[in-house]
Structures are given as C-alpha cells and as structure tokens.
Amino acid sequence: MEYRYIAYIDEAGDCGIKTVKPLDANGSSEWFILSAVVIDAAREDQVAGWVEHMTSSARLIQRQIKVLHFKNLLPVTKTLVCTSVASLPLRCFVIASNKQNMRGYANPFAEKIPSKNWFYCWMSRILLERVTHYVKHRSIKRYGEVQKVKLEYSECGGLSYSQMNAYYEWIKMKSGAANLFLPLGGLVWETMDRSLLKVYPHKERHGLQIADIVASAFFKACDIHDTRECDPQFAKLLLPRMARAIYNGDNLISGYGVKLFPKYQEVNITSQQREIFQFYGYPKQWWDPDPSNPKAYRPLIDQVRPSIQTPRG
C-alpha cells in the first residue's frame, strides 16, 4: 500500500488507572503522554541520519549513550536534542492525560474492545483524530487528494499489532453507527489502512526515538512525582514543530498539537503543571468541528445508549 506520510508514535508515563499518583502513594504515573511525529514519506530515508547526528552530538556530553532515550539524558543533552528536533521538517502532536480523574474507572464496554489495554487504545484514537485530520488537509493541498499515512508504534507492555488493528476496525464500525464513547472530530479513515500499521521495539526505529523525545519532554514538563519536579523548558523548545490548526482566524496549537485531558478548567493540577499548557495556548483550544457550538455534538451524543460512560474530559 502506497503511503505519503509516516507517523511515529511513542508514550511517556504509564497507562495504568487502577491506582494513580498522588491519590495512591505507589500508584501508576499521574500523567500518560502519547505523542506522534509526522513526516513526509519522501524523507523516510533521512530519519536515521537525523537521529544519528543527535546521538553523536549527545555522546560528546554523555559518552555512554547508545540509543536516544530522553529520560536518561542530562539537562544539557535534553536541551540539545529538543533544539535539534525543533529544526527538523516534521510536525508533532501530544495528547496529555492527567489520570487522577480516571483512577479506578471501569469502562462498561472494555470487554467488548478487542484489546487488553483499552485506555491506551482510546488515547491513541484521540491522537489519530488529529494526525489523520492533518494528513488529510496537507495531502489535499499538496497532492489534490487524500493520501495514506503509515503508523509506526513503539512497542510497550501488552501492545500488539493484532490488537491495535482489531481496535481500529471496531471503532470504524462503531463510528459508522454514530455509536462511539466520545464523539470528537472522528478519524479520517481514508488516510488509514490496516497494512500500514506496525509495532516496533524503540531501538529499531529512529523515528520512534524522536517521538520519545517529544512525549518525554512533555512528561517532564508536567510531572512532579516520577521525575521530581516540573521542568517545561524542554517541551517549550519544540514550539516551532508543534502542529497548528487554523480556526476562526486563530492559529491554534492548544487542543490540536497539544491536547489536555480532562478539560483545562476541570483538571486538578498545580500552577506549575499548568505552565506548559498555558504556554501552548490554553485555556483557549481548537475543537472540531465547531468549538463555538457545543450543541453540534448533541445529535451524536443522543444516539449513544444511556448506559455508555465516557472517559472524562
């Protein structure tokens, strides 16, 4: 299957929601960050060179580095790699979930989702709503028609190629019946094909190492439990490459290139944790299809059976 774009997808934090910090002392991470780095497929052969250059530069500071992993870098090295990413021809997307409001949440349809990790799948769906929207509009502008995007996921606990494919086929069927958990913008299915979904170990794909830098920089920006304190300086360096959506004349990153869950007004976080989201434009945010008219969602929501609960945000 021919494709014109590639999205490298990686995460930071963990997606467990049975117990969550700071509500539980030994709980899973307060935040789960999922990122996508999108490039033109014509540049696929250049990605290894980009990462090898960053790695070589990083070794001048930390000689022991073999594979780029943001969490293992010194602050000065983190600055170096984020500055390098900000200069590359790519676009970045970040979905940030503060999981306090998800603690202990039992999804009534979890057993019907053909995946062991429904929360990861749900987060990836929100991410791909934005990625496929971007690919659609960019490819129409450049090629005159919608093109395909190849999705390369970083291998993580319990994630498999078959599970992810089954999940997307499931929500494709549900979306056709207007019966989704949370009717947001919707995936642009024309950009996707099951043969273009792959899962790789982090070290095997250079593009996944870039996605790790993006996800981990944002994790560091808002985490205070697993990385000691918030430090948004690295995520701020990525500003030139964060995806933007034009709406009502505004060129918005918030809600598009950077999406926070739950809602900015409802999330229970400190002023230091809010800094990175304010930097990227919150509380204002992009909302598809019509952020100024929430009633536009009412017909879709009314078609969902009352027993369905939605992940909050």
Q: What is the pLDDT of residues 201-221, one digit of tens each?
A: 888 999 999 999 999 999 999
Neighbouring CB atoms inside 10 A of 112's CB total: 10
Q: Going residue by residue through the chain, which has 313 residues, state the pLDDT in tens, using 9 for 90 and above.
A: 899 999 999 999 988 888 889 888 888 899 999 999 999 999 999 999 999 999 999 999 999 998 999 999 999 999 999 999 999 999 999 999 999 988 877 665 555 555 557 788 888 889 999 999 999 999 999 999 999 999 999 987 556 667 777 777 777 776 665 454 444 457 899 999 989 999 898 889 999 999 999 999 999 999 999 988 999 999 999 999 999 987 666 789 999 999 999 889 999 999 999 999 999 999 998 865 443 443 333 322 222 222 223 333 4
Q: Give the C-alpha separation, 20 to 43, whole Å.
A: 40
Helix (H) or strand (E) holding 141: helix 118-143
Helix (H) or strand (E) holding 153: strand 149-154
> For residue 305, what are the CA distances in angstroms to 91, 175, 176, 216, 300?
37, 14, 15, 37, 11
CA 27, chain centre distance (Å): 22
> Which one-letter DSSP state was computed for residue 281?
T
Please provide the distance, in angstroms rounded to a whole number, between the alpha carbons at the two ends of the chain. 36
Q: What is the pLDDT of residues 133-149, one digit of tens each?
A: 999 999 999 999 999 99
